[in-house]
Amino acid sequence: MAYRFWCGECGFKTPWLSESQGSDRQLEHYEKQHPGIPPGGHVEVNRKNPEGGGCLPVLGIVVLLLIIAAACQR
């Protein structure tokens, strides 16, 4: 999944990133733009992220290759 962090003090938002990258960018923003204020705002989750497919496509390819290998040995 991808995450976008929004600043609670201004209109800043991070690009879609991993959770740790987005959090780091938000912290950097607060240190530069709002020193002394604890980070706030909200986090938006992109559940339609193409990178969020997990291992299911890889598992499907492995099964398909095993079927092809088994069929070629007959």
Closest CA to 8 of 60, 58, 33: 33
The phi-psi region of residue 13 (left if phi > 0; otherwise alpha if psi is between -120 and 50; otherwise beta) is: beta
Across residues 14-39, what is the average pLDDT? Answer: 94
**What's the N-to-C CA distance of the chain in angstroms?**
42
Residue 62 clears pLDDT 70, i.e. is over it? yes
Residue 67 clears pLDDT 80, i.e. is over it? yes
Cα-trace Rg, the chain: 21
Q: Of 8-12, 41-45, 63-67, give the lowest mean pLDDT range.
A: 63-67
The whole-angstrom separation of Cα 74 and Cα 72 is: 6
Closest CA to 10 of 35, 44, 33: 33
